[in-house]
Structure 1
Amino acid sequence: MPHAKKVNAMHLQDIKKLYVETDGVGLAELVRKKEIKSSELVEAAIELIEQVDPAINSVAIKTYEFARRTAASECQGPLAGVPFLLKNVGSACEGIPLDQGMKALQGLAWSSQTEMVTRIRDAGMPILGRTNAPENGWSIGTENRLHGKTRNPFDPSRTAGGSSGGAAAAVAARLVPIAEGSDGAGSIRVPASCCGVVGLKPSRGRITYGPDIADAWFGCVYTLCNSLTVRDTAAFLDVTSGNSPGDPYTTQKPERSWLSLCTQAPKKLKIGFTRRANWGPAPDPEVLSSLDDNLRLLESLGHTLIEYDLRTDIERAWWDYNDIVSVEYSRDFKSLGSNLINRSLDDEEFCPFNRAMMHRARSLSAIEYSESISATRKAGQQFAAEIAPFDVFVSPTLTQLPRPVDYWSMEESDREAYLSRWSDAAFMFIFNISGNPAISIPGKPSKAGLPVGVQYVARHGDETTLLQLAAQVEDRHPWNAHLPAVSGLGR
C-alpha cells in the first residue's frame, strides 16, 4: 500500500484508483495534508459500493447522506476522513438502522449508541452504512433471510466467512480500507482468512462494551475491525480502545500508540506452532503449505520456532461454550423484543438454527448452565496456560479452504449437526474463552487463488507483539498485491 503522495485536482476516476490502492492510514495522511478531501473519498467509496457490491453483497444498509455530513469534520486523528462501515450486529449508532439481519427489526433506528461507535465518530470516520452479517451473528458464514448472502470477492461460489463476512468482503473488494468486526468464536478472524485481509481479536477488556451493557457472554465477545494492512488495524485500535468506569475487565494500554509501535521490529521471539487440532479433520494440505511458508519466513527473521500441539480438549470446550451461547442468545432475543419493538418475538420470526438454540436454552437447568460456565472458564484458563511459555503461538486460522456458500447456512435446524461443522474453526473460539489477543493475517494463497489465513496469538494484553510481528511479515511479503477481480484492479 503506498503512503501519501501529492494529489492535484483529480477526476473521480483518478480518486477511485488512489482510494483502492491506498490503505486507511495513507488516506488519512492525504486528508490531513489537504491534498485530498474526505468528501472526495466518500464519493469514491459510494461509487465503488454501487459498482462493485452487487457481485458480493457485503453492504446491507447504506447511509450515504450520514457519511457526507460527517466528511466535513475537522478531526485530525490517524484515520480522520477515512470512509468506514459498521457491522449489522451489536454496534448501536444514533440515527443509523440496526436490524441484525432480522425482518422484525428492519428499518429500526436505535436511540442509544455504543461507546466504541462514539469513538469512531469522534475520530472523524464517515460511516457509509452497515455490512451484512448472519441473523444475530452466530455463524461463520454470512447469509440471512433479510439481506441475502455475502460472497467471497475471490470466488463468488465460496463463503466470505462470518459473522463479519460483510466487513471482510468489503475490505477485500476495496470498498473501504477498514470495517467494524466482532468476534465471539472467530467472527473477525474467520472472514479475514477467507477474504485475505487482516483481522485482530483484541485482548479481553481492551474495548469497552458500554454504556448499555457491561459484559457480553462473560467477556468472550470482542469488537474491532477487518482491515487492509496491519497499520490500519493498529491505528483503529488506538482510536477505539479504552475502558469505561465499572467495566468488569480492564487492560492497560501501552505508553505509545500501537500505530507507532508497529513500525518497530519485534525482539527475537520464542514462537510455538501447531499443524494439527485435536478436533475435526486434518488440515487441508494447502492450508498446511501456507502455514509452513509462514513458519519458514518467521525462522528466517531470526525467531525461534518450537512445535507444540494443544492438549486441552477443544471439542468438549466447544459444546460447553455453546450451552452458554444458547442461553445468552435467548436472553438477547428477549431483550431485542422488549426494548426495541415492545413485544415478544415469536419463534417463527427466527431462522431454524436460532430456534434450535433457543430450544436448547429452555432445556437447560440453572445448575447445568452454571456448570457450562465453570467448565468453559476452566478450559479458557488451560488454553492460556498452554501457550504462556511462548511469546507468540502460531496456527492455521481455518483448517480448511473457504467453504462453499451455504455450508454454514442457518437454515439448518439440527443444532448438533450445524455446530459440528465449526471444527474448521477449532483454533478460533479457544482464544475467545481464554482472553488472549489473536490476529489472522493473509498467508500464501491456494493454487486456485483462494485466500488462506495464518493466526498469531500472544499473551493477554500484548497486542504490541502481535502487531509488530504481523507488520514484520507484511513488510517482507506484502499481501495486498493479491487482489480479487471485483476490486476494479483485477488480480
Structure 2
Amino acid sequence: MNGFDYRDYDALGLAQLIKAGEVKPEELLGEAIRHIEMQNPKLNAVINKMYEQAKKDVHNIDINGAFAGVPMLLKDITQEIEGEKITSGSKALQSYRAWRDAEYVRRVRKTGVVFTGQTNVPEFALMGITEPAFYGPTRNPWNADHTPGGSSGGSGAAVASGMVPIAGANDGGGSIRIPAAYCGLFGLKPTRGRTPSAADPGRQWQGASSDHVLARSVRDSAAMLDEIQGYEKGAAFHAPAFDGSYLQIVKNQSERKYRIAFSTASPIGTEVDPDCIEAVRKTAALLESMGHSVEEKDAPVDGKKLAGSYMMMYFGEVAATLRLLEDLLGRKVRYDDVEPTTWLLGLLGKAATAEEFVLGIREWDKAAHVMETFHETYDFFMTPTTAYPPAKIGELNSRGTEKLLLQMIGKLGAGGFVKKTGMVDKIVENSLKRTPFTQLANLTGQPAMSVPLHISSGGLPCGVQFVAARGKEDILFDLAARLETVDEWIDIKTNPMFKKEQPV
C-alpha cells in the first residue's frame, strides 16, 4: 500500500478500491485498527474493540456490497450484534450481551461493511454530550478539551478523527445532528419509519428516534440510506414510499431553486451564541447567491410547549428503561446502579401521569400537521443545529450544591416533590438550552440534516440544520450535495487529530 492513505477516502471510495483490486479488505481493516489504536487513547471514542471477530468477518464480506470491506463502528446502544456486549453506556449493563442482531445491524451488514467496534455513548443515550461515568468522556478531534456532542459522540469523534469513514448513529432528539455539528460532519436523521428500529421493532422513544449513520461525505449517507431503508415487520411507523436512489440524487445534482425559511431564535426563548447565528446568516447569504429564495421566518409552533412535551416523553422513557432493566438484572434497580441524573429523570417519569403523557404526545401530532402546511410554502426550514459551539469536557456536569441536591432528591425518591415545586420547567430549560433546535423534527417525524459550513471564533465547527417535509430526504440530499461543493464546506482533514500521525 505504498503511498496509500486510508484517510483520503470516504466509505464508497474505499469500497471502490477493493472492488478494483487495488487494496485488500484485510489491509483496510489493518489501517482502521492502526488509527483506532493511535487516536483512541486521547479521544476515547471506541469502548469495545471487536478486532478478532473483524479479522474473521473480513474474509466473508459480500464483494458486491455497496460498502464492501469498509471498516465501520456501531453505537453502543440498540445497535446490537449477537454475542457482543451492549452496555448503553451504563455500568448496570456491563455484563449484558445481545442475544441476536438488531434489524438495523442485519441490513447494514449486507452492505459488506466490517464491524470493528462499538462507540461511546452517554448513559442510555440521554445527553447531548458523551461523558458516561462508566467509560469516561469522549473528546472532540478539533479540540480535545471539548465535547464531540451526543448521544452519538463516540461515532462522531471516530469519523472526524479518521478512525473509520462511517459509523452507526441514532437520533431521538438530535443525537446524529449534534455530533455532526460539533465534529464537522454530515448527519441526516431520516423520516420517522424510513429505517428499521435498531433493537426491537416498535416505537423507539414513541417514534422520536431514528437510526442511520454519521459520515464524512453526503454520498456515503445517501448510499447507506438506499441500502437500509424500507418496510420493517412489526414496526409502528412507516415512511412515505421512495422508489428512487438517494445516491443518484447526490450524483446528479439538480438545478432546482428552493424556498427556504430560516430562524436563529431559540424556540424556547433562551440565548443563542453569536457564532451559531453567524453560521446561519452566512449560509442564508450563500444560498441567495446560489439563486435560492431565502426568508427569515420562525416555525409556526409553540416551542416551549413542544419542549415540555418532549421532556415528558423523555422522563417516561427513562422510567420505563429502569423498569425493564430490572428484568435484565433479575432484581430491583438501585440508586447506585445508574448515574444520579438518570435516576432523577426516572423519578420524574414515575411522577408523571398517563394523562400528561398522552396530552404531550398529542402536541407532537398538532405540530406535525402545522409543519406539513408550512412546507407547502417552504421546502426547508433552516436553523442553527445547536445554540452554542461545543462545551468543554465537564462543563455541564452538576457540581457543588446542585450535585448534593440532585443526590438528596434521588436517594429520597422525591420526584413528586420536584414536580410540585415547579423545578421541572428549570430542568427542561437547562436540558435543552444548548440544543433547542433539533427536537422539532423528532417530534413531527420529519427528516433533518446538519451540514458543516462554519468554524466558530474558537476554532470549532458550528452546524447548520435543514428540516424538510416528511418523506423528503431526496431534496435534503440534493441541497447537501450542492453545498458540499462550496468553499465553506468544512474539510475534516484540517482538524488537529485527523492530521496527527504519531501515537498520542
Give the shorter-chain TM-score range.
Answer: over 0.9
Aligned to 1:484: 495
Within 5 Å, which residues of 2 pair with 1:14-413?
14-15=3-4, 18-72=5-59, 73-209=61-197, 212-266=200-254, 267-338=256-327, 340-409=328-397, 413=406
Matched letter for residue 479 of structure 1 = I
Aligned to 2:480: 470
Deviation at 1:353, TM superposition (A): 1.0
- Residues 75 and 440 of structure 1, relative CA distance in 2, 3 Å threshold: same
- Residues 291 and 365 of structure 1, relative CA distance in 2, 3 Å threshold: closer
Deviations 1:25-44 (A, max 9, x none): 11111111111111111110
Q: Output the CA distance in 2 between the equivalents of 1:367 and 1:288.
A: 38
Q: Output the CA distance in 2 between the equivalents of 1:191 and 1:472.
A: 22
Q: Output the CA distance in 1 between the equivalents of 2:329 and 2:52.
A: 26
Of 447, 456, 459, which aligns to 1:446?
456
Deviations 1:251-295 (A, max 9, x none): 244333211111122311111111222324332222222222222
Between 1:76-85 and 1:245-254, the stretch displaced more is 245-254
Deviation at 1:392, TM superposition (A): 1.5
Matched letter for residue 207 of structure 2 = G
Other structure's SS at 1:276 match: coil
Q: Output the CA distance in 1 between the equivalents of 2:301 and 2:160.
A: 34
Other structure's SS at 1:249 match: coil
Other structure's SS at 1:294 match: helix
Aligned to 1:6: none
Matched letter for residue 213 of structure 1 = P
* 8 Å CA contact 1:354, 1:410 repeated in 2: no
Q: Output the CA distance in 2 between the equivalents of 1:385 and 1:143.
A: 39
Within 5 Å, which residues of 2 pair with 1:412-431?
413=406, 417-421=426-430, 422-431=432-441
Identity over the aligned pairs, expressed in percent? 32
Matched letter for residue 335 of structure 1 = L
Q: Output the CA distance in 2 between the equivalents of 1:22 and 1:364.
A: 49
Number of matched pairs: 476
Deviation at 1:156, TM superposition (A): 1.4
Aligned to 1:436: 446
Other structure's SS at 2:205 match: coil
Consecutive unaligned residues of structure 2, counting only runs of 5 or more, are 407-422
- Residues 464 and 324 of structure 1, relative CA distance in 2, 3 Å threshold: same
* Displaced runs of 4 or more, over 3 A: 379-388, 407-419
Deviations 1:41-67 (A, max 9, x none): 111010101111111111111111122
* 8 Å CA contact 2:300, 2:370 repeated in 1: no
Q: Output the CA distance in 2 between the equivalents of 1:280 and 1:87.
A: 32
Other structure's SS at 1:187 match: coil
* 8 Å CA contact 2:493, 2:499 repeated in 1: no
Q: Output the CA distance in 1 between the equivalents of 2:355 and 2:433.
A: 27
Between 1:28-37 and 1:70-79, the stretch displaced more is 70-79
Q: Output the CA distance in 1 between the equivalents of 2:342 and 2:371.
A: 28
* 8 Å CA contact 1:101, 1:135 repeated in 2: yes
* 8 Å CA contact 1:120, 1:240 repeated in 2: yes
Deviation at 1:366, TM superposition (A): 2.1
Other structure's SS at 1:117 match: helix
Deviations 1:226-265 (A, max 9, x none): 1101001111111221121332211244333211111122
TM-score (normalizing by structure 2): 0.90
* 8 Å CA contact 1:25, 1:79 repeated in 2: yes
- Residues 352 and 118 of structure 1, relative CA distance in 2, 3 Å threshold: same
- Residues 84 and 430 of structure 1, relative CA distance in 2, 3 Å threshold: same
* 8 Å CA contact 2:492, 2:498 repeated in 1: no
Aligned to 2:411: none
* 8 Å CA contact 1:55, 1:486 repeated in 2: no
- Residues 410 and 336 of structure 1, relative CA distance in 2, 3 Å threshold: farther
- Residues 22 and 130 of structure 1, relative CA distance in 2, 3 Å threshold: same
Q: Output the CA distance in 1 between the equivalents of 2:490 and 2:373.
A: 32
* 8 Å CA contact 2:166, 2:216 repeated in 1: yes
* RMSD of Structure 2 on Structure 1 (CA): 2.0
- Residues 205 and 132 of structure 1, relative CA distance in 2, 3 Å threshold: same
- Residues 253 and 368 of structure 1, relative CA distance in 2, 3 Å threshold: closer
* 8 Å CA contact 2:267, 2:437 repeated in 1: no
